[in-house]
Copies of this chain bind each other. A is one copy, B any other.
């Protein structure tokens, strides 16, 4: 845990240069616009600790699966988002001295992420070994108006010298991923070209054959006036740049603007990439940095109008929630149904940038309430389009007749994760996909979605569960054996309560959806039923499973059991565990974690959260009181659910503590892993803690209801929401709740 950033309601501020925190800051100050993103690497380059990262949405590589002992059913490959061409640099040299904060003396340093306007700013004073000093101010952003565009304004003033400056504007495509085997490279050069103030590089990925074209243009101002210049080409394999020499004079500001445009073959024909890039580069240059930045700020103001949360009386909490919202919108804008939300967004390489169930369980509620329905709808359609692969995936595991198992981790619908206890067994993910459809329709009222897309997905998932249960002669109930629940600190258990519950619910909801669609559009209903060769007896068997599903519980304590064997464990409370044991995943071996009672993230409680309307407060309380004290929250997805439930139970302090923990997870580097990238998907959970937790928002019988609680420290909080076409403002203060 670290506390090195200044608190400000609209900004993230780092003052003073801390090389040892540079990788953490590179994550925290990341920029993105839904289409691309990069870590906050220094424009002039940096030879110290740094993770250079520049990512294009949807561009991935299938890395061959490597395991000790191959198990039948493993996917051939694990996909990962590729670190792509780096255009975010303006390299500066004075005579033979490179501007590099790792070698210079850093006299002043400040970095600010301006969340209101959507840009990153950095200023510093540095002294070269020769004693020469420069003052630098940099602004940069990735445009959310033109999502192929990025821009940098680099201002440099010599403080105590005249001399010749060499400035290099380049695109470096010779990039590797951090976790690549033996520094393996995934990009090949296609073509490159440059002229005085412009350069273009087209690359393609190995095997997947994605093309990406990056173009840059740049201009120079001296003392407020645009000047012309000569430039020399710098060419290497997978690299192109232009170097200019310019006379620098003491006290006279030099400003370098660099514009970049990126197009990929995901949305543009391969042979038109360069054309598009060059055309848009022209537009961008003619607009210029200041106009582009103005448009950026206006666009962000609009976003904030729809999604801001305002907290009075607690600047730390205020800053945190805005940061979470800001990063979510940097990652996913909902424009493109081919895209999804990687757990780290564009801020790092961990989890391969692939889609997880986080999207359905955590992100959809956020986008439902803060954006037009089409955004969440696009996230649902993403899965709908991948239904054929999900059916194929289930087939590989022995399922049949159109049963679908959506992948645990995916880029294009194919499974790309290769631990058996997750890939093969963490099947509750299928439930969250049905639940997201239910949640979307409950919130938006868009029942038509069922007819066009939803029902087919629900049926394929229901078929999966039907085949996945088996009848236990011993229990005289249907059981689900060999699963991993949301709590990944238990693997391959029998009858995970959450999985059994959501499985049965999926069957129920599929039947309900069938009835609805049949009633609304019989023709379409029968067309679908014929196409998927649905048999009437499937209905009977589903009903039988719903009736006779087994749910492990403890009669004495009146709690649901996480799984059959839970009560054989030694039940120890986290508070009685010496701190030398935490975090468990770093201190304990895996088997010890697995046989312990400690819970990584909400499991039974995840179910009680999803299905709140089906359980009374007493039930919730008993289970919360039983499981919360054994939960270590070593998943970023855990504290938000506990916070919401704690708020519901009136455990105010607990709810508030969990809120701070989840909302400031990255800002305070709570788990010492922010350097790998931000916990993007759990940021949606943070938003939920306020709206569903403190404001107590629920959907009841097609209506929004609120049951608010105000954390002691807060004077008030308010937030904007979109609900069925209306923008509403919810204000909570000591007097109660106000809906405007």
A-side interface residues toward B, CB under 8 Å? 65-69, 71-73, 78, 182, 396-398, 417-421, 424-425, 470-475, 479, 481-482, 491-495, 564-565, 567-571, 585-592, 594-595
Task: Give the shortest distance, in Å, between A7 (CB) and chain B (any CB).
Answer: 35
Is B482 in contact with A72, judged by CB distance below 8 angstroms?
no
Specify which of B73, B481, B594 is in contact with A569 (CB 8 Å cutoff). Answer: B481
Is B491 in contact with A589, judged by CB distance below 8 angstroms?
no
Contacts of A571 in B (CB 8 A): 473
Cα distance A495–B565 in the bound complex, in angstroms: 10
Task: Give the shortest distance, in Å, between A436 (CB) and chain B (any CB).
Answer: 24
Is B568 in contact with A71, judged by CB distance below 8 angstroms?
no
Contacts of A397 in B (CB 8 A): 589, 591-592
Instruction: Kindly report which residue of chain B lies nearest to residue A566, judged by CB atoms.
Output: B474
Q: List 13 A-B contacts (CB under 8 A).
A: A68-B417, A69-B419, A71-B589, A421-B421, A421-B492, A425-B591, A470-B568, A470-B569, A473-B571, A481-B569, A492-B493, A494-B565, A495-B568
Specify which of B68, B182, B418, B594 is in contact with A492 (CB 8 Å cutoff). Answer: B594
Specify which of B73, B78, B473 is in contact with A589 (CB 8 Å cutoff). Answer: B73
Is A66 in contact with B69, judged by CB distance below 8 angstroms?
no
Is A398 in contact with B589, judged by CB distance below 8 angstroms?
yes
Task: Give the shortest distance, in Å, between A203 (CB) and chain B (any CB).
Answer: 24
Contacts of A570 in B (CB 8 A): 470-471
Instruction: Kindly report which residue of chain B lies nearest to residue A583, judged by CB atoms.
Output: B72
Given contacts A182-B182, A397-B589, 5 further A-B pairs with CB under 8 A are A67-B68, A72-B590, A470-B570, A473-B567, A564-B568
Is B492 in contact with A586, judged by CB distance below 8 angstroms?
no
Known: A419-B69, A492-B492, A494-B568. A591 touches B472 (CB 8 A): no
Cα distance A594–B421 in the bound complex, in angstroms: 11
Task: Give the shortest distance, in Å, between A175 (CB) and chain B (any CB).
Answer: 21
Protomer copies = 2
Is A72 in contact with B586, judged by CB distance below 8 angstroms?
yes
Contacts of A479 in B (CB 8 A): 568
Is A472 in contact with B424, judged by CB distance below 8 angstroms?
no
Is A424 in contact with B68, judged by CB distance below 8 angstroms?
no
Task: Give the shortest distance, in Å, between A535 (CB) and chain B (any CB).
Answer: 22
Contacts of A425 in B (CB 8 A): 591
Is B71 in contact with A590, judged by CB distance below 8 angstroms?
yes
In the A-B complex, list the 4 residue pairs whose CB atoms are closest, starting with the nearest: A73-B589, A424-B591, A482-B595, A71-B590
Is B481 in contact with A568, judged by CB distance below 8 angstroms?
yes
Is A567 in contact with B67, judged by CB distance below 8 angstroms?
no
Known: A69-B419, A78-B68. A590 touches B424 (CB 8 A): yes
Is B396 in contact with A591, judged by CB distance below 8 angstroms?
no
Cα distance A472–B597 in the bound complex, in angstroms: 12
Contacts of A564 in B (CB 8 A): 564-565, 568
Is B78 in contact with A568, judged by CB distance below 8 angstroms?
no
Instruction: Kindly report which residue of chain B lies nearest to residue A564, judged by CB atoms.
Output: B565
Specify which of B417, B474, B568 is in contact with A472 (CB 8 Å cutoff). Answer: B568
Is B474 in contact with A568, judged by CB distance below 8 angstroms?
yes
Specify which of B68, B71, B495, B585 is in contact with A418 (CB 8 Å cutoff). Answer: B68
Cα distance A586–B74 in the bound complex, in angstroms: 12
Task: Give the shortest distance, in Å, between A405 (CB) and chain B (any CB).
Answer: 10
Task: Give the shortest distance, in Å, between A580 (CB) and chain B (any CB).
Answer: 12
Task: Give the shortest distance, in Å, between A65 (CB) and chain B (any CB).
Answer: 8
Known: A565-B564, A567-B472, A585-B72. A590 touches B420 (CB 8 A): yes
Cα distance A421–B592 in the bound complex, in angstroms: 12
Instruction: Kindly report which residue of chain B lies nearest to residue A398, judged by CB atoms.
Output: B592
Contacts of A182 in B (CB 8 A): 182
Is A589 in contact with B72, judged by CB distance below 8 angstroms?
yes
Task: Give the shortest distance, in Å, between A294 (CB) and chain B (any CB).
Answer: 45
Is B491 in contact with A591, judged by CB distance below 8 angstroms?
no
Contacts of A482 in B (CB 8 A): 591, 594-595
Cα distance A398–B587 in the bound complex, in angstroms: 9
Contacts of A492 in B (CB 8 A): 421, 491-493, 594
Task: Give the shortest distance, in Å, between A483 (CB) and chain B (any CB).
Answer: 8
Instruction: Kindly report which residue of chain B lies nearest to residue A568, judged by CB atoms.
Output: B472
Task: Give the shortest distance, in Å, between A424 (CB) and chain B (any CB).
Answer: 4
Cα distance A67–B66 in the bound complex, in angstroms: 7
Contacts of A589 in B (CB 8 A): 71-73, 396-398, 424
Cα distance A567–B476 in the bound complex, in angstroms: 11
Task: Give the shortest distance, in Å, between A100 (CB) and chain B (any CB).
Answer: 33
Specify which of B421, B493, B587 is in contact with A72 (CB 8 Å cutoff). Answer: B587
Is B481 in contact with A590, judged by CB distance below 8 angstroms?
no
Contacts of A569 in B (CB 8 A): 470, 472, 481
Instruction: Kindly report which residue of chain B lies nearest to residue A71, judged by CB atoms.
Output: B590
Known: A398-B592, A492-B594, A592-B398. A565 touches B481 (CB 8 A): yes
Is B68 in contact with A419, judged by CB distance below 8 angstroms?
yes
Instruction: Kindly report which residue of chain B lies nearest to residue A571, judged by CB atoms.
Output: B473
Cα distance A148–B491 in the bound complex, in angstroms: 49
